[in-house]
Chains A and B, each alone.
Chain A
């Protein structure tokens, strides 16, 4: 099967200042994103994530190496016919309504006139923007801008969707809504590349991740491959109201008899983010 994205020995240098000092933003990066997976692209600021994405999208020219989208050289405009992109901190034409904006991007992306309205309505429904579709984009909140940004990325029904910091600066409820959109895209068989600093969200939705630092790939793999701690086991037990010191000692004795140790004992709790989402998404 042809991979959604295939990056091979990618190098990107920038020339900085009057003297043209070389800054290597991406250093010999090789990476493959399979079709149908949600791929998390992680790393600190300046690690080369956004530069890599821009090369994938043909916005930057690589210094060396190759990049292919569904087997096509990424610099070719036709390679992007199957790609949707949400840039970081997106800005859209404020004088258009959300619906007009989607119509424009759909037509530019080659959606036929006969399919236009259905495509626009589907994208609006997927992102929960139907109610605000006729408002001018300049009146949208930050969360709504992100969601209409996701809508324009998927309006032409691309096979690959690239989201650069899709939840940056928006509240946990809006962030969860975008997370749901991403999962919906996966159900539809789309490949999604998500670049984000919100590691909790990435952890919940991604099949595989790649972590970059200073332009180099540190690690790539499934979350289990990267995060599982060998030799450790976590057990969650239900039906216990009181857990006395004697109970704890008995548990330690049992574990000792199996050659193991008790590393910690606590009552499980939900995350603050989960609490926030549960509390406010119902209102």
Chain B
């Protein structure tokens, strides 16, 4: 039960902060702005342009939110010593970590849902117009799948959960706010470029040491590129096999679980 109340309080704290509202408005504005750019006539690619704009905004602002708000809501609790008051109650450290993570997960869910909703409205409004233009020109009408977008939103939420869990992990032993933010963003960057490390590890022209180092690091960080299924899910009539989507979702949940467990292991022995 404590987990529910800690999660609820974490979510409430987040939504009452200006930073969340600022990022949300910025993200929504960016998606809405893509409509205004339709005046430039991108032809058949306009829908893809709008979708890419929305996907980019979703991941960019979502990642900033996942890192900054996690540090703000988790590290600040330790730094301001509100965690002491809470942990002096019959609350275990596991409940504390899981409750905080659940609150942030809920926050990210709201963010992703609102961003995806607006993007869905924009795409749904433009698709018939562009389809009519394409028909006049005799070209192929652009395809848009609302259910595909919903599926993509769920995958993006899982991707952001990994980012938040990674931030939890770094924050669990961080001594300063700045350290937690900087290291978490570095972790995000490495996870985003994990495929490059895999390429280096598999490359023929790479030295043995570089191969081992790249391969080891690649094994230690999640591959966030696996979640880049937006265009296929949303704009491709062929879609994506269910197995691929489920595999990506499972991969994300496992990574988030591992990182949260590690965060708990470090936080458990932390003295406040």
Contacts and interface: CB of A to CB of B under 8 A. Distances in A.
Query: Do these two chains interact?
Result: yes
B96 to A, nearest CB: 10
Contact of B85 (A54, A61, A81, A92): A92
B88 A85 contact: yes
Contacts of A54: 84, 271-272
A22 to B, nearest CB: 15
Interface in B68-107: 80-82, 84-92, 95
B-side interface size class: 20 to 34
A77 B42 CA distance: 61
Interface in A32-65: 54, 57-61
Given A57-B88, A87-B81, 13 more contacts: A59-B84, A79-B90, A80-B88, A80-B90, A85-B84, A87-B84, A87-B85, A92-B85, A107-B5, A108-B89, A108-B91, A109-B89, A110-B90
Contacts of B90: 77-81, 109-110
Contacts of B17: 95
A91 interface: yes
A54 B81 CA distance: 12
B82 A59 contact: no
Interface of B: 1-2, 5-6, 9, 12-13, 16-17, 80-82, 84-92, 95, 269, 271-272
B74 to A, nearest CB: 14
A83 interface: yes
Of the listed residues B2, B90, B269, the one surrounded by the most CB atoms of chain A closer than 10 A to its CB is: B90
B262 to A, nearest CB: 19
Contacts of B87: 57-59
A-side interface size class: 20 to 34
Interface string A81-95: 101111101111101
B85 A85 contact: yes
Interface string A226-257: 00000000000000000000000000000000
A152 interface: yes
Give the 7 A-B CB pairs with smallest separation, nearest first.
A85-B88, A81-B90, A77-B92, A95-B16, A57-B88, A91-B80, A80-B90
Contacts of B9: 93, 96, 104
B81 A91 contact: yes
A140 interface: no
